[in-house]
């Protein structure tokens, strides 16, 4: 069965970096794009962007350029989200979500809570 398993919660200080992983199983990793979605505490879902798992080409939503980087390691069917120069407002749950076309995010990771606090 399809599964997306994300890395565990992170507590970081302002200015630090964090790398969240999303390991896929149960399907051919390169057949589906991978998206990243942010949910700040008590807030709605916010689409961050997606990465083409065939080419590795990322697309970032407005507001997620510069400090946010999507990457892949196709040898282990894993997508990564790296955030640098962390700020308190980056505190959120970050989800990876498989895209079967359109927006059809049919499978989601369990979410990774990133807390930024001094």
45 lines the binding site for other proteins (CB under 8 A): yes
Q: 103: cis peptide before it, omega within 30°?
A: yes
Q: In whole angstroms, what is the distance from residue 7 CA to residue 9 CA?
A: 7
19 backbone φψ class: left, alpha, beta (φ>0; ψ -120 to 50): beta
**Closest CB to other proteins among 17 and 59?**
59
Q: In whole angstroms, what is the distance from residue 18 CA to residue 86 CA?
A: 8
61 lines the binding site for other proteins (CB under 8 A): yes
**Closest CB to other proteins among 2 and 16?**
2
At its nearest, how many Å lie between other proteins and the CB of residue 49? 8
**Which residues make up the interface to other proteins (CB under 8 A)?**
35, 37, 44-47, 49-50, 59, 61-62, 95, 97, 102-106, 108-111
């Amino acid at each position: 069965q399809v599964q997306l398993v994300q890395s565990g919660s992170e507590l970081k200080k302002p200015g630090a970096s964090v790398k969240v992983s999303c390991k896929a199983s149960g399907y051919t990793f390169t057949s589906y794009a991978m998206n990243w979605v942010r949910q700040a505490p008590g807030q709605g879902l916010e689409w961050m962007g997606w990465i083409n798992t065939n080419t590795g080409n990322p697309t970032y939503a407005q507001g997620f350029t510069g400090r946010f980087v999507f990457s892949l390691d196709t040898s282990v069917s894993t997508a990564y989200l790296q955030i640098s120069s962390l700020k308190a407002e980056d505190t959120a749950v970050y989800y990876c979500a498989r895209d079967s076309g359109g927006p059809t995010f049919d499978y989601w990771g369990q979410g990774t809570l990133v807390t930024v606090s001094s």
